[in-house]
A and B are shown apart, each in its own frame.
Chain A
């Protein structure tokens, strides 16, 4: 993909996409053009918020049934699971994961998604869960379909699931997308390809037969590693203060 790539990147430029990536047209008028101002992390960014998670239920992680219609979503049933960790491999427990995705036909329930793909009355395409003490999460959903978009002629987004990760430390905030490895649309997608080549595969889940449940659902594993201050230094400081 030949395109103009901007130089303004937040975080490690070998990992994070630049704000300006011309092939993804929405970046043209929204990417900042002036250099980011580098500042130290302060107590403001290291705040650990105590999330009010009382409303998160186990059922929220089951996208096949959380439309609460009594019916089940159509499509290939899949389990998506993995661990949320910091760069040292330490688990990030208590992180709120929120996911959204198209249905098996590639359609979102959204007023701005109006292509003629069928809606599924039993599928909302939204879910959430909290990571457990080992940093693990698990969703039951259906495999999303690809869908067309207006970025360029005959543009189709590869199947993907949007992930929002709200870690207890706000400095580790991440919003990203998870893809599937056997998708011929991956090399054609400017949003995935905006990620530096060496880091792109980190957004692609791996088929996991040990996660697959017989006569039930296919398993996919996808781990998430959060940038930001290492938990080690951070927890140690908290302990010494205690």
Chain B
């Protein structure tokens, strides 16, 4: 069968809030596949270093699916369970990570990235992380900023453009 013509993407524009971020929005059923609670905070910034106030971030991992808006300064905050390791293929494991999609006015297609964790020993050897140029890998790793609180807090900024630009992914066909 010949493939059907794929529908192109368009920007979310500036007026999505009431629809995509309504309080009773649907979220994936949260399973018990994650670990202890963690929090990740950060900012989405543009090429001038200015916060992006009209972005939506979607986060996916085995323990659930989350959709977050950014505030007037581009800040977001995620509370979730610590992700567990996920198989890459037979015999190879990935380091714990969160899959992230970024939508915003001015983004004609959502951007895909990942959040790894600096205090996780397997991060450094993660096979996907290692596909990114070494000089840019740090943009994919959340820094732990609190030691004292009950819920570990991490910092992860999403830089759309310019100095410290976050690594964004495109996907090849499925791994075998």
| Residues of chain A having any CB pair with chain B under 8 Å | 9-12, 15-19, 21, 24, 26-34, 36-47, 49-53, 55-56, 85-89, 96, 98-100, 102, 108-110, 112-113, 124-128, 162, 164, 166, 170-171, 173-177, 191-192, 194-196, 199-200, 202-203, 223-227, 229, 233
Contact = CB atoms under 8 A, between A and B. Distances in A.
B106 A176 contact: no
23 contacts: A10-B168, A16-B8, A26-B106, A37-B170, A40-B173, A42-B94, A42-B175, A47-B61, A52-B28, A88-B4, A100-B19, A100-B20, A102-B15, A113-B14, A126-B19, A170-B99, A171-B171, A175-B9, A191-B108, A194-B108, A195-B8, A202-B6, A223-B7
Contacts of B97: 44
Contact of B161 (A32, A40, A42, A225): A32
Interface stretch (B45-53, B117-125, B143-151): B45-53
Interface string B70-113: 00000000000000001110000010010101011111111110
A98 B86 contact: no
Contacts, number: 253
Contact of A17 (B15, B61, B109): B109
A191 B160 CA distance: 19
B169 A39 contact: yes
A202 B7 contact: yes
A112 B173 CA distance: 40
Nearest to A85: B4
Given A49-B65, A55-B24, 10 more contacts: A10-B111, A11-B6, A19-B109, A36-B170, A44-B114, A51-B28, A87-B6, A100-B18, A176-B8, A199-B8
Contacts of A110: 14-15, 17-18
A39 B13 CA distance: 28
A109 B22 CA distance: 13
B171 A39 contact: yes
Contacts of B131: 37-39
Interface string B50-62: 1010100010111
Contact of A24 (B47, B88, B108, B161): B108
Contact of A29 (B47, B61, B64, B94): B47
Given A32-B168, A100-B16, A175-B12, A27 B4 contact: no
Interface in B136-164: 136, 160-162
Contact of A175 (B10, B50, B94, B167): B10
Contacts of B12: 162, 164, 175
